[in-house]
Amino acid sequence: MRLKSLAAVALAVVLSACGAPRDDISGTPEPIGTFRLAYNFANADHAQKGPLSRDVTPAEWKAAVEGAIQDRLGRYEGDAWFHIAVGVQGYVVARAGIPIVYSPKSVLIIGVTFIEDATQEKLNEEPIQLTIFEPCCAPILGSGLTRTREEQIDGLAFNAARAIERYMRKHGDLFGGQSEAVEDDPTIIEGFDAAALAAARAHRGADTSN
């Protein structure tokens, strides 16, 4: 992903809508075909940090994303094993701004590949790109004002796992099941909608402290 594309995301998070609250993942979910999680791998070695972002190390992203995927998708008990590989491509972990005038929110961009264990074949030739906003925050407050850095990372990883699960339900045929309709979610974009994100306006007055 090009740096100017990530900059467009950074502008978009300034005006992005309030994210959805977390859903409950304590119970046993409805099956997605025959899916059962084998291994999940996350790599953030080449992740690009967007403007006005706090620093996050590749190891921190790896631990957060793998943990969130295991917590959510490790609950499935289908008859066939599948692996999930995630590449963290870019991120903005928002710093503090000025309420109303400048309230940046956090975003994570990932590429996802599904692998069938029995055949070791990829289910998708190219990584599935997902743009994920943080599920948090009061309407006029960005997460940089209301959450710690660690809470922001955790929130993005949680929503990344939820985005992967939503994609799997929409494409259940990949896992031997039926495709399902899912409700629109403003915190999850399939692909990278550069035109929509670039339409957001830049605001001034950012606090550049971590």
Q: What is the band of 192 on the pLDDT scale with cuts at 50, 70, 90?
A: low
pLDDT value, residue 207 = 40
Separation of alpha carbons 31 and 175, rounded Å: 10
Where would I find the H helices in 16-148?
58-73, 143-146
Fold of 3-13+33-198: Rossmann fold (3.40.50)
Side-chain-side CA neighbours of residue 179 (13 Å): 6
pLDDT value, residue 81 = 98
Q: How does pLDDT run across 132-166, given as a tens digit for each residue?
A: 998 765 444 445 456 889 999 999 999 999 999 99
Q: What is the band of 94 on the pLDDT scale with cuts at 50, 70, 90?
A: confident
Of 31, 75, 39, 69, nearest to 177 (Cα)?
Answer: 31
Question: With the C-alpha atoms ordered 199, 204, 205, 210, is the resulting torsion angle positive or negative?
Answer: positive
Q: What is the pTM of this model?
A: 0.80
pLDDT value, residue 79 = 96
Domain extent listing, the chain? 3-13+33-198
Contact 179, 171 (CB under 8 A): yes
Q: What is the band of 106 on the pLDDT scale with cuts at 50, 70, 90?
A: confident
pLDDT value, residue 147 = 80
